[in-house]
Amino acid sequence: MTSAPVAPPRTAARLSPLLRLLILTQLAFNVGFFAVLPFLADHLGQAVGMAGWLVGFVLGLRTFSQQGLFVVGGALSDRYGIRPVVLAGCVLRIAGFAWLGCAERTGAVIGAVLLIGFAAALFSPAVESEVARQAVVHEEAGGQRTRVLALFTVAGQAGAFVGPLLGALLLAVDFRTVCLAGAGIFVLVLAGHAWMLPQRVPGRQRVRLKGGWGPLARNRRFLALCCAYGAYLLAYNQLYLALPDEVERVTGSQSALAWLFALSSLLVVTAQLPVTRWVGSRLSLRRSMATGLLLIGAGFAVVAVSRPAGWTGTAGLLPSAGFVVLLTFGQMLVAPVARAWVPDLAEEGRLGLYTGALSSVSGLIVLIGNSATGSLLAGGLPPAVPWLVLAAVPVAAVGFLPRR
């Protein structure tokens, strides 16, 4: 018999000071980021006047410049350590948000979005790879790596919960104020990490930039995981593309969007650790991810089934709420497990590179998929078709999962 699961508060108390700092880092990052992102699509379409396909492309470009270039940030963190990479990313994020708040033309918007994405491509893989490495150390000391990564996810979602609420309040002024507030949060993050982040992390070896790409490109099991994770990320990004379109259709505005984001974040904050504990004792990593992907597919199917009925108002929001709930529970299963799986597949000393590559491949999938989704949503197809197509993506991704 296995020992009784450790309660979440006790698990948190056993974390190292570095892990606690990195988890709080994720919280702060997401508060600043999600104060802006949920309202970007409406700003691009209404204030800037972009066409639907271009809005989808710009959102995908933001994801690709972030997720797609994670491999660069991950490789740099393997070579130089996490401190300089995290601090540089914070500086770029501050500049990007300030620029976005002032951008009024398509070229300027694209430049600001690229800068915002690349900033995260620096600091996020540095933080995520170190959390994954410290989670393995925690596991060797008797803990569970999936619970550490679940707590990391909870911190991120707590930030994603607070961020949209903050953004919705500031949006009453204007979008520029929202962007400047996001920049201000990252000023505080920069100052805090310049003071608290250690110069060198004990036990972390620095490696050359060259030499890791060939083995990564030949690692079929890792690349299969990247493809499955990319399908999940494409589905998750529909919170910012397909969901706003659906909320606008049924209510005539996007005022309910912040509450749907809050619902998602609240579910993760309250249920992530219990779900991880329950699943960890019953399902393998592969089965956990497969179950999560199927739940996400079911979320899209709920909206697809309801679209022909043409519901509006409060009743029309119910399928969207169902979509958010199923997508969120799928996320709880997929995201921590994917991160926990990477150290088992990564080459020694290249965890940053592999963590970054996981997001880079998925970012490319999102760039292509979001452009297609924008056209799909604006293509005048029968109302259920776009959501059925989106439902098929995570379901098909189950077949890509590597077998242990």
Where does the pLDDT of residue 61 fall: very low under 50, low under 70, confident under 90, or very high at 90 and above?
A: confident
User: Is the predicted pLDDT of residue 17 greater than 90, yes or no?
Assistant: no
Residue 326 has pLDDT above 90, yes or no: yes
Pairwise CA distance, residues 350 & 352, whole Å: 5
What confidence category does residue 3 fall into, taking pLDDT thresholds of 50, 70 and 90?
Answer: very low
Query: To which residue do tokens 């970054």 refer?
Result: 356
Percent of the chain scored above 70 by pLDDT? 93
Tell me the average pLDDT across 148-159: 85
**Comparing C-alpha atoms, which of 267, 302, 290 is closest to residue 384?**
302
Inform me whether the pLDDT recorded for 296 exceeds 60: yes
DSSP string, 1-43: -PPPPPPHHHHHHTS-HHHHHHHHHHHHHHHHHHTTGGGHHHI
Residue 394, pLDDT > 80, answer: yes
CA atoms within 13 Å, Cβ hemisphere of 205: 7
pTM: 0.73
Is residue 46 classed as helix, strand or coil in its secondary structure?
Answer: helix
3-state class (DSSP) for residue 403: coil
More confident residue, 4 or 89: 89
Q: What is the pLDDT of residues 28-46, one digit of tens each?
A: 889 988 888 878 877 877 7
Listing DSSP states for 71-124 in one string gives: HHHHHHHHHH-HHHHHHHHHHHHHHHHHHHHH--SHHHHHHHHHHHHHHHHHHH
Residue 401 to residue 230: CA distance in whole angstroms: 11
The number of beta carbons lying within 10 Å of the beta carbon of residue 62 is: 30
Q: How far apart are CA 130 and CA 376, in angstroms?
A: 38
Distance between first and last Cα of the chain: 23
Distances in whole angstroms, Cα of residue 81 to Cα of each of 132, 205, 380: 15, 9, 50
Q: Comparing 327 with 162, which gets the higher pLDDT?
A: 327
Instruction: Please say if the pLDDT value at position 66 is more than 80.
Output: no
**Mapping DSSP to helix (H, G, I), strand (E, B) and coil, where does residue 68 land?**
helix
What whole-number distance in Å separates Cα of residue 266 and Cα of residue 271? 8
Q: What is the pLDDT of residue 396?
A: 92
Confidence of residue 89 (pLDDT cuts 50, 70, 90): very high
pLDDT at 202: 61
Q: Is the pLDDT of residue 329 over 50?
A: yes
Residues 198-214, mean pLDDT to the nearest whole number: 68
Q: How many angstroms separate the CA atoms of 136 and 75, rounded?
A: 19
The neighbour count for residue 347, using CB atoms within 10 Å, is: 16
Element (H, E) at 160: helix 145-170
Region 261-285: mean pLDDT is 82
Question: Mean of the per-residue pLDDT values for the chain?
Answer: 82
Give the orientation angle of helix 70-80 with respect to helix 351-377, to 10 degrees: 170
pLDDT (0 to 100) of residue 205: 65
- What's the pLDDT band for 7 if we cut at 50, 70, 90? very low
Indicate if the pLDDT at residue 144 is higher than 50.
Answer: yes
Distance, in Å, from the CA atom of 32 to the CA atom of 123, rounded to the nearest integer, reads 14
pLDDT band for 2, please (50, 70, 90 cuts).
Answer: very low
